[in-house]
Amino acid sequence: MQLRMQRLRNLLAGTWSEGQGDGATLLNPSTEEPLALATSDGLELAAGLAFARREGGAALRALTFADRGKLLGAMAKRIHEHRDELIELAMRNGGNTRSDAKFDIDGAMGTLAHYAEIAAGLGDVRVLADGDSIQLGRAPRLAGRHVFVPRRGVALLVNAFNFPAWGFGEKAACALLAGMPIVCKPAASTAIVAHRLVEVVADVLPPGAVSIASDLAHELPSLLQYGDVLSFTGSSRTASLLRALPSVVSSAVRLGVEADSLNSAILGPDVEQGGETYELFLSDVVREIRQKTGQKCTAVRRVFVPAALRERVRDDLVERLRDVVVGDPFAEGVQMGPVVSAAQRASVLEGACRLAEHATVLLGQSGVSPLGVPAGQGFFVPVTLLEAKDASAAVLHELEVFGPVATLFESPDDTDELVDLVARGGGGLVCSAYTDDRALATELVLGLAPHHGRVVLGSQKIAGQAVGPGAVMPHLLHGGPGRAGGGEELGGLRGLALYSQRTALQGDRALLDAIVKG
C-alpha cells in the first residue's frame, strides 16, 4: 500500500512542503485503515497568502479572460489524465463507490471545462462588461458602463469533505477566471483527493495562482484582509463563526457561503402512479437519498406526496431502497459506501433518532450489514426512510441529517399550505416538483422560488433527458437563501461576481467603450 501514512504536502509561496507534527490521521472509512497525515503546522501561512496576493494575483491580472480560460482548460486536461488515479483515491479515502467517485472527479473536470469554454467567448479583455453603455445626459457623449474587475486579494476556498474535487473545481474555476489567486483549505477527512488534485494541476498555473494547506487550526480565515474573499462550503454552525470574524464584520473581507439545506421533492396530485413522471420522481428520490451515501448538500431530505399516492410511494421507495447494497466500494456489487468518518456516522445516527421522535421509521431500524468488511468495521449507516407523524414538527424541517436519510410527508391539498410547509426549511439549495399540470407548476415556482436557489420541474416532456436535482451544473446558480447560506456560486458568469468588484464607470462614451474592449 504505497499510500500508507503518506504525509500530505502543502503548496505555499510556490513551494511544496510538509507540515510538522502528526496533524490529522486520514482513514479509509470502509476499513478504518490509516492512509495519510494532514498538517500544516510550522508552515508560514501568512507568507503563503502574501505570496499568492502578490505573485499569483499579478500574474492572473496580467492575463486576459480568454487566457485565463486556457488555464482552466489545461487544468481539466490534467485531471482527465489522472482520472483513474483520482477515482481510486476517492474510493479509498472518501468511501465513494466508483460511480460516486466519478461523480466528484468528473464534476470538477466538467466544471473547469465549461468555464474554459465560456472564457473563450469572452475574448482578450481584462475587464468584463456588465450590460451595455447607458446614456446619462441629454447628449450621447456622457455615458455609464458597469464592469467587473478582479478583487485585489486572495480567495480562500474552504471546502466540505463530501466533494474534495468538485467543490474545488466549482470555486477554483470562478475565482481563477475572475482573476483571483486561490488558496485551498480542504476538509481534513477527504484531503487526499484535494491535495493530489492540486499537485496534478498546479504546474499549469502561474506561481502563486494556486496554493493548498491543511490548516487544521483554521488559522487561514483569520489571516484574511481587505481585498480578500472567503468562499465557504460547510455547516451553518461554522458559517456563523466565519460571519463573526472581525475582518468579515468590518466588511473588509467578502464572504460567500453555501451551507445546510433540507431539499424537498414534491409529487404533484395530477401524477399517475407508474407513469413517466412518477418514475422520474421515484428514480430521482432514490438516487438523491443513496448517492454519495446521502452526503450531498443537494440531496433530497424531505419528500412531499399527495394523500392519494402516499401508500404507493411509501411502498415503492421502501422496496427500492431496501435492496441497496451497502459495503466497501472495492467489493463487487456494492451500491453505497460508508459515510466519511466516525464523527459523521455518530451525527447521522443521532440525527435519525431525533427525526424519529416525530416520524415513523419505515426503513433503517434494523441497522446495516456491510459487504466486504469484517463485522463492526467501517463507518456504515443504513438507508433510513421516515414518515412524518407530525408534519409541523420543527426538527423535521430544520435538522439536516447528512447521510442517506429522508422523511416522507403527506402534502396539504392547498398549494399555498404546501409551499408554507416546504418553506419551513428556512431557505434551501434546491426543490424539485414533479407534475404535468402547467398551472400547478407555475404556482409552485412562484411560491417555492423565493425560498430556493434552484427549482427543478420534472415532467413527462423531459423525463428521458432530465438531470436530477442533486447534480450541480455550472450553467445554473448553486446556493440558496437563509439556512443555505445566502451565497451564489456557478451560474455561468454569475459565479464570478463573488471574486470581482462590480464598478460603475462614468465618463466619455468612446473612452469607456475602449476600456471595455481592452
Site for a copy of itself in 410-439 (CB under 8 A): 423, 426-427, 438
| Residue 475 binds to a copy of itself (criterion: CB under 8 A) | yes
| Residue 492 binds to a copy of itself (criterion: CB under 8 A) | yes
Contact range with a copy of itself by CB under 8 A, out of 36-44, 116-124, 253-261, 381-389: 253-261
3-class SS of residue 243: helix
How do 300-305 and 405-410 pair as beta strands?
parallel
3-class SS of residue 457: strand
Interaxial angle between packed helices 415-423 and 438-448, expressed in degrees from 0 to 180 and rounded to the nearest 10:
40
Contact range with a copy of itself by CB under 8 A, out of 46-54, 88-96, 104-112, 145-153: 145-153
Number of residues that bind a copy of itself (CB under 8 A): 84
According to CB under 8 A, which one of 59, 142, 204, 361 is a site residue for a copy of itself? Answer: 142
Contact range with a copy of itself by CB under 8 A, out of 143-151, 294-302, 323-331, 350-358: 143-151
Site for a copy of itself in 146-175 (CB under 8 A): 146-147, 149-152
| Residue 178 binds to a copy of itself (criterion: CB under 8 A) | no
| Residue 455 binds to a copy of itself (criterion: CB under 8 A) | yes
According to CB under 8 A, which one of 126, 195, 292, 397 is a site residue for a copy of itself? Answer: 126
Shortest distance in whole angstroms from residue 106 CB to a copy of itself: 16
| Residue 369 binds to a copy of itself (criterion: CB under 8 A) | no
Active site residues: 258, 297
Q: How far apart are CA 292 and CA 324, in angstroms?
A: 13
Shortest distance in whole angstroms from residue 130 CB to a copy of itself: 8
| Residue 445 binds to a copy of itself (criterion: CB under 8 A) | yes
According to CB under 8 A, which one of 46, 47, 249, 394 is a site residue for a copy of itself? Answer: 249
The CB density around residue 482, as the number of other CB atoms within 10 Å, is 18
According to CB under 8 A, which one of 101, 271, 405, 441 is a site residue for a copy of itself? Answer: 441
**331-355 per-residue burial string, b: 16 or more CB within 10 A, e: under 16:** eeebbbbbbbbeebbebbbebbeeb
| Residue 389 binds to a copy of itself (criterion: CB under 8 A) | no
| Residue 64 binds to a copy of itself (criterion: CB under 8 A) | no
Shortest distance in whole angstroms from residue 203 CB to a copy of itself: 28
Contact range with a copy of itself by CB under 8 A, out of 63-71, 201-209, 214-222, 461-469: 461-469
Of 141 and 354, which CB lies nearer to a copy of itself in the complex structure? 141
Of 281 and 380, which CB lies nearer to a copy of itself in the complex structure? 281
Q: For residue 409, count CB atoms less than 10 angstroms from its CB and return exposed for 0-12, middle for 13-18, buried for 19 or more.
A: buried
Contact range with a copy of itself by CB under 8 A, out of 70-78, 203-211, 274-282, 465-473: 465-473
How do 384-388 and 359-363 pair as beta strands?
antiparallel
Site for a copy of itself in 23-62 (CB under 8 A): none
Of 379 and 499, which CB lies nearer to a copy of itself in the complex structure? 499
| Residue 488 binds to a copy of itself (criterion: CB under 8 A) | yes
| Residue 392 binds to a copy of itself (criterion: CB under 8 A) | no
| Residue 231 binds to a copy of itself (criterion: CB under 8 A) | no
The CB density around residue 415, as the number of other CB atoms within 10 Å, is 18
Shortest distance in whole angstroms from residue 137 CB to a copy of itself: 5
| Residue 354 binds to a copy of itself (criterion: CB under 8 A) | no
| Residue 257 binds to a copy of itself (criterion: CB under 8 A) | yes
Q: How far apart are CA 300 and CA 458, in angstroms?
A: 14
Shortest distance in whole angstroms from residue 187 CB to a copy of itself: 20
Q: How far apart are CA 455 and CA 442, in angstroms?
A: 11
3-state helix, strand, coil in the chain (%, to 5): 40, 25, 35
**218-240 per-residue burial string, b: 16 or more CB within 10 A, e: under 16:** eebbebbeebbbbbbbbebebbe
| Residue 259 binds to a copy of itself (criterion: CB under 8 A) | yes
Shortest distance in whole angstroms from residue 515 CB to a copy of itself: 5
Q: How far apart are CA 372 and CA 168, in angstroms?
A: 31
| Residue 483 binds to a copy of itself (criterion: CB under 8 A) | yes
| Residue 134 binds to a copy of itself (criterion: CB under 8 A) | yes
With cell 447628449, the residue in question is 139
With cell 431500524, the residue in question is 365
Q: How far apart are CA 4 and CA 451, in angstroms?
A: 45
Of 291 and 293, which CB lies nearer to a copy of itself in the complex structure? 291
CB 144 within 8 A of CB 134: yes
Q: For residue 510, count CB atoms less than 10 angstroms from its CB and return exposed for 0-12, middle for 13-18, buried for 19 or more.
A: exposed
Residue 211 forms beta bridges with which residues? 183
| Residue 129 binds to a copy of itself (criterion: CB under 8 A) | no
3-class SS of residue 308: helix
- Nearest CA to 280 out of 100, 460, 470 is that of 460
| Residue 312 binds to a copy of itself (criterion: CB under 8 A) | no
Which grid cell sits at 18? Answer: 510538509
